Amino acid sequence: MKFTEEHEWLRVEDDLVVVGITEHAAEQLGDLVFVELPEEGRVVVKDEEVVVIESVKAASDIMAPVDGEIVETNDALIDNPSLVNEDATGNGWFFKMKLEDLSVMDDMMDEDAYLKFIS
């Protein structure tokens, strides 16, 4: 699993990258009450807004951590946004992407580096 400074995590599954926010980010946001997911098939570039989330505390945008195509979204979040709070790095994922080159993740933080980053 890799991490960004924007508190997103990326996990490679087969040839896709699953993206969500970290437990730390979910805790900071508080209880999520709304999630707007991107359309499947949408091609995004790094730092482009792809997900809108609203919590009891604030509204936030989730940016694309890398360039790629959104190939699947976690529609369970539409009816149950609190999945992100309950299981941020598991069932609370936002979308899956197809990347041209997985090596773009090589320079991202691993879990140890991320834990140092948030401490």
Amino acid 103 reads S
Segments forming the whole domain that contains residue 64:
2-101
pLDDT tens, position by position, 5-50: 999 999 999 999 999 999 999 999 999 999 999 999 999 999 999 9
23 within domain boundaries: yes
81 within domain boundaries: yes
pLDDT tens, position by position, 91-116: 999 999 999 999 999 999 999 999 99
65 within domain boundaries: yes
118 within domain boundaries: no
114 within domain boundaries: no
For the chain, how many structural domains are there in total? 1
Strand partners, 97: 17, 70
Q: How many Cβ atoms sit within 10 Å of the Cβ of residue 77?
A: 24
Q: What is the DSSP string of 63-102?
A: EPSSSEEEEEE-THHHH-TTHHHH-TTTTT--EEEE-S-G
The structure's pTM equals: 0.95
What is the CATH classification number for the domain harbouring 11?
2.40.50.100
Are residues 35 and 51 in contact, defined by beta-carbon separation less than 8 angstroms?
Answer: yes
29 within domain boundaries: yes
